[in-house]
A and B are shown apart, each in its own frame.
Chain A
Amino acid sequence: MNPIQAWNRFWFGPISALPLGVYRVIFGVLVLAHLGLLTVDLDHWYTDAGLLRGDEARMAAGPLRISPLQYVQDPRSVRLVVALVAAAAVGFVVGWRTRVMSVLLYLGLLSLYHRNIATNCGPDMLMMITSFYLMLTPCGAAFSIDAWRQRRQRGGDAEPLIIPWAQRLLQIQLCLIYFDTALLKCTGTTWTGGTAIHYVLFNHEVGQLDLEWLARYPLLLNVLTHAALVLEFALAFLLWFRASRRWVAAAGVLLHLGIVPLVNVPLFGEQMTALYLLFFTPEELRGLTGIFKRWRRSESELAGMGRLDMASSHRGWHQLRLPLESLNEDRTTVGCPKVTRGKGIAKSTVKFGSSV
């Protein structure tokens, strides 16, 4: 495969919309949780009754970070803005006018983000970046009211495909986070020396629960410190491969579960682990849900689930404006499912999830 074909396959080869749809729902719920946490100290951090008043928020933010909340900052207005962002998040979760809601959600989060830059940290940063990427994805193509409406209009119960370039950016972003933090940790002495977690245990300003008793087991702390470092490197690479994906994702979930009682950064681990879903194929996702005995579809149901949505029926979803002719031409190069035309529905019988 030449580099151009590889590029096209990676960024533009159609994949199932289901993982992105699941992720959209979880992300929207996390945004609602984030807004819920904000309300506790909302006046202090985001209104002129708190830390910054008058033009101070603009001074703190600098010329490049613009937010309407630097101008409208009385507590009542700010609460209204937060309520509107929450409403957009609800619309985003249920997938009602998903593209519009994703833009509103991004702008709402950006307004809050730029109003209070001095306390922004990992969870805020990740939410901001993720909402930017989600705005570019057709994340309403599955598990949404929009998709349900489309399905009703066309009939059938098939699974939509999407062009994944923005989803790929999200995947790369996740790997970049793990790689960057692991690389930076290697330049210090405590991570390679196996004592980093010891210091975290005793820092009760950033810690969550009192786990000082773990300091009685320095060997355990040493192993955990090195395991965390190795795992962060592993997560940066091994989520891409089907053979290692499940195992490294499970280890990643354990890593973040371990961080929860140790460090008070709410919603960071939740966001990171939710991003793992974007690496999974629909079959793998169903396998995961089967583990938890929530639901499992039979293989016979799975076999008939492929469908490529017609471009014309997805107004506003530019990524889905993909002429079927071009897909047919591409399928030899990108490895996408065989497509045949039906009455307004192109069906595929090949299993989806051509992720790398």
Chain B
Amino acid sequence: MSSRWIASRLIISGFIVFHLTATIVWVLPPCPVKALWMPRFAFYVIPLGLWQSWSMFAPDPVREVIHLESEVIDRRGMRRVYEFPRVSGLPWWRKLPRFRHPKFAANLLLEEFAVQRELTARHVVRQLGIPPEDFPLRVSLYYHVRDLPLPGAEVADPMVRSRLYSLAAFELEDPQEVWP
């Protein structure tokens, strides 16, 4: 066996051990090992797009349906509401490519996407086309939350009322924040 091939194997083996360690640390449930090592592997995993999480309906599927909405109140107290796209009423062929909308709404709940909340508030203002003279604005993001029927129920009760869950609120002083 050539020394070059031995060296190649050693290098590849080192990479395999490193890569698998990083991957396994990343998918571990919360534990001290993960807390210690995850930040160290972040410099390898994140830039290369290798971060992963496979909690597909785990540990439990959500027991509520949520949809995201936003309320904007301008300096005169005028109130505008922006409803984010919903897919639940669409036929399957239109729903299929729009699976990112409910994912986006759910992801905003996660702390790792906290920055995105303010950016979403700015997007709402742009979508509503609020003119600069109406600033400053107060933008609230909130969810309509509706409980799903418990096991044993055969049909969903259409009269179930949804409740509001406040996600975040932002004061936008300067139009340049919104239209960079």
Taking beta carbons and an 8 Å cutoff, which residues of A are in contact with B? 7-8, 11-12, 37-38, 40-41, 45, 50-56, 59-60, 62, 64-66, 109-110, 113-114, 117-119, 121-122, 125, 128-129, 132, 165, 169, 172-173, 176-177, 180-181, 183-191, 195-196, 198-200, 202-206, 208-209, 212, 215-216, 218, 221, 263-266, 318, 321-323, 325-326, 329-330
Closest Cβ of chain A: how far from B70's Cβ, in Å?
A: 13
- Tell whether, in the assembled complex, residue B48 and residue A132 are in contact, meaning their CB atoms are under 8 Å apart: yes
CB of B58 within 8 A of CB of A191, answer yes
Q: Within 8 Å CB of A200, what residues of B?
A: 57, 61
Q: Does residue B123 face the partner (Cβ distance < 8 Å to A)?
A: yes
User: Are A185's CB and B59's CB within 8 A?
Assistant: yes
- A205 lies within 8 A of B86 (CB): yes
* Beyond A12-B9, A264-B92, A323-B1, 7 additional pairs, beta carbon < 8 A: A55-B180, A60-B115, A113-B49, A181-B54, A187-B29, A189-B59, A205-B65
Q: Which residues of the other chain, A, contact B19 by a CB distance below 8 angstroms?
A: 169
Supposing A64-B42, A184-B59 touch, asked if A118 and B113 sit within 8 A by C-beta, the answer is: yes
Query: B98's contact among A41, A59, A221, by CB below 8 Å, is which?
Result: A41
Distance (Å) between the CB of B87 and the closest chain A CB? 6
Question: Which among B27, B55, B92, B101 is the interface contact of A209 at CB below 8 angstroms?
Answer: B92
Complex CA gap A174/B115 in Å reads 32
State whether A325 and B2 are in contact (beta carbons under 8 Å apart), knowing that A8-B9, A180-B27 are contacts in the complex: yes
- Which chain B positions have C-beta within 8 A of A185? 57-59
A-side interface mostly: helix
Contact, CB under 8 Å: B99 / A60? no
B155 at the interface (CB under 8 A from A): yes
The reply to whether A122 and B54 contact each other, CB–CB distance below 8 Å, is: yes
A128-B23 CB under 8 A given contacts A52-B119, A119-B103, A203-B61: no
Write the residues of chain B forming the contact surface with A, with a CB cutoff of 8 angstroms: 1-2, 5, 8-9, 12-13, 16, 19-20, 23-24, 27, 29, 42-43, 46-63, 65-67, 86-89, 92, 95-105, 107-108, 113, 115-116, 119-120, 122-123, 126, 148-149, 151-156, 180
The answer to whether A177 and B49 have CB atoms under 8 Å apart is no
Q: Top 7 A-B pairs ranked by shortest CB distance? A: A188-B59, A54-B180, A184-B58, A119-B100, A188-B60, A40-B97, A204-B88
- How many Å lie between the Cα of A202 and that of B155 in the bound state? 8
Bound together, the chains give a CA A143 to CA B46 distance in angstroms of 32
**A residues within 8 A CB of B155?**
212, 215
Contacting residues, chain B, for A208 (C-beta < 8 A): 92, 95-96
Whether the Cβ atoms of A184 and B54 lie closer than 8 Å is yes
User: Do A41 and B100 have beta carbons less than 8 Å apart?
Assistant: yes
Contacts of B123 in A (CB 8 A): 50-52
> How many Å from the CB of B90 to the closest CB on chain A?
9
21 A-B residue pairings within 8 Å (CB atoms): A12-B12, A41-B101, A54-B180, A64-B42, A110-B48, A113-B49, A118-B113, A169-B16, A176-B23, A184-B54, A184-B58, A190-B61, A199-B62, A199-B148, A202-B149, A203-B62, A221-B151, A264-B92, A264-B102, A265-B99, A323-B2
Q: A216: which B residues are within 8 A, CB to CB?
A: 154
The total of interchain contacts (Cβ-Cβ below 8 angstroms) comes to 192
B20 touching A172, Cβ below 8 Å: yes
- Alpha-carbon gap, A326 to B5, bound state (A): 8
Cα A215 to Cα B154 in complex, Å, equals: 5
Known A169-B16, A180-B27: A266·B97 in contact at CB below 8 Å: yes
- List residues of chain A with CB within 8 A of the CB of B20: 169, 172
Task: Known contacts A184-B54, A209-B92; decide if A53 and B29 are in contact (CB<8 Å).
Answer: no
Q: Who on chain B is nearest to A165 by CB? A: B12
B161 to chain A, nearest CB (A): 16
The answer to whether B119 touches A189 (Cβ under 8 A) is no
- How far apart are B124's CB and chain A's nearest CB, in angstroms? 10
- The residue that B23 contacts in the complex, of A173, A318, A329, with Cβ under 8 A, is A173
List, in ascending order, chain A residues with CB within 8 A of B29's CB: 183-184, 187
B55 proximity list for chain A (CB < 8 A):
181, 184
Asked if A65 and B47 make an inter-chain contact with CB atoms under 8 angstroms apart, the answer reads yes
- B53 / chain A contacts, CB cutoff of 8 Å: 125
User: Given A198-B151, A266-B97, A66–B50 Cβ distance below 8 Å?
Assistant: no
Contact, CB under 8 Å: A189 / B107: no
Least Cβ distance of B88 to chain A in Å? 4
| Nearest Cβ on chain B to A225's Cβ, whole angstroms | 10
Task: Using known A-B contacts A110-B49, A114-B49, A200-B57, determine if residue A323 contacts B122 with beta carbons closer than 8 Å.
Answer: no
